[in-house]
Structure 1
Amino acid sequence: MPFTHDTAGALQSATELVNAVEPPVTLATVADLDGFFRRHGYTGRHDGTEEELRAVLGLAPRLRDLLLAPRDDVAGLVNAMLSEVGAVPRLVRHEHEDWHLHAVDDGAPLDHRILAETAMAMVDVVRSDEMSRLAVCADTGCDGIVLDLSRNRSRRYCSTTCTNRNAQAAHRARRAGAS
């Protein structure tokens, strides 16, 4: 994996959030948001309200644009996002996690923290020239985002569902061609 654990985690979180609003929608309730919060190891403020859910879901189009932007366009998006949330990066350590960066106060709204963490992660993506790690799913019927953290850069699909659907289609095509 080319990224530190906090960068990889922020990219995974952002990718999941962007993909969660595409059919089939997987982030639609406060309970879904609670699971998302726990799954991605967020700390700090979590209101668990409909308002917080709407604010987090409202990030999806902006994060999609950021994750898929050409490398030279990312800097402007990142700078605007960090400025918007008043980011002041600092090193922190939690009980079960070593030193990593937080860009906004733990008491900031969850959507601000997600925006800041994703923007900070994209700084690492740009600086390491790893934009090819982010792409649109190779499944022709899917607009999901693929985050490829594999060593050999082989990931093409956003989910197991898309992977399986395409593997089955390829298998059927091979069988039809052999007949």
Structure 2
Amino acid sequence: MPFGHDMVHSLATVVELVNTSPSTGGEEGLSGLAELQAFVESRKISGVSTLTARDLGQVRMVREAFHRVFTAPDQPTAVRTLNALLAETRITPRLTEHDGHPLHVHYFAADATLAEHVAADCGVALAHLLVEGEAERLRTCSAPDCDRVFVDESRNRSRVYCDSRTCGNRMHVAAYRARRRA
């Protein structure tokens, strides 16, 4: 499924955000304002002013809601979870061009907090995925010791690991060694 630039960016942002959660098996990736600022900068989130402790708390809550969407047992549960998040977000679609990107749509209000910004843009991207019947593209890594999430953008929906270079390679090496021992 071909995705436009803004949808690819929003989906990558939501994946990176969710994977900062201790719920994905790692340590807290947003332990303070410095980490939140680094996230904002790495994802090139526009229109963000000075960050506060309140921003950090709100973004963590949004992150956990997104995690529940990825790990929902079925599509109706994912839809209910996403609808609840979007209902709490002021969504104001507007066309924009910035930072060298072509015309695209932002869904957050001009005075939105960082949490509203992320919830609106990433939530709408996830909503489009669900509307297109692509909920199965929202995945959790199949490696037994990894709970990171990812969006399977492969044509045949065959991706099973969050990263082929780490989890995928580790699992393939383990399978190879198991075959050699047998």
Same topology, TM > 0.5: yes
Contact 1:137 1:144 in 2 (8 A): yes
Which letter does structure 2 place at the counterpart of 1:55? Q
* Structure-2 residue corresponding to 1:154: 158
Alpha carbons 1:11, 1:118 under 8 Å: kept = yes
Aligned length: 177
Q: Does 1:165 align with 2:155?
A: no
Instruction: State the distance in 2 between where 1:43 and 1:27 align.
Output: 19
Structure 1 counterpart of 2:83? 79
Q: Tell me, in whole angstroms, the C-alpha distance in 2 between the residues paired with 1:164 and 1:97.
A: 34
Q: 1:1-59: CA deviations, max 9, x gaps?
A: 53222122111111111111131443323222222112212101242333322221222
Distance 1:26 1:162 in 2: 19
Structure 2: which 5+ residue stretches go unaligned? none
The C-alpha deviation readout for 1:92-117, integer Å capped at 9, x for no partner, is 22141112221222331101111111
Does 1:97 pair with 2:78? no
Pick aligned residue for 2:129 from 122, 125, 128: 125
Unaligned runs of 5+ in 1: none
Which structure carries more relative contact order (alpha carbon 8 Å, separation 6+)? Answer: 1
**Counterpart residue number, 1:19:** 19
Please report the TM-score for the alignment, with normalisation by the length of structure 1. 0.86
The reply on whether 1:175 has 2:180 as its aligned counterpart is yes
Which amino acid in 2 is paired with 1:97?
A: H
1:31-110 to structure 2, matched below 5 A, reads 31-69=34-72, 70-110=74-114
Distance 1:36 1:174, change over 3 A: same
Q: What is the CA RMSD across the aligned residues, in angstroms?
A: 2.1
Structure 2 length-normalised TM: 0.84
The share of aligned pairs that are identical, in percent, is 33
- Aligned amino acid, residue 179 of structure 2: R
User: Contact 1:45/1:106 (CA < 8 Å) preserved in 2?
Assistant: no
Distance 1:166 1:44, change over 3 A: same
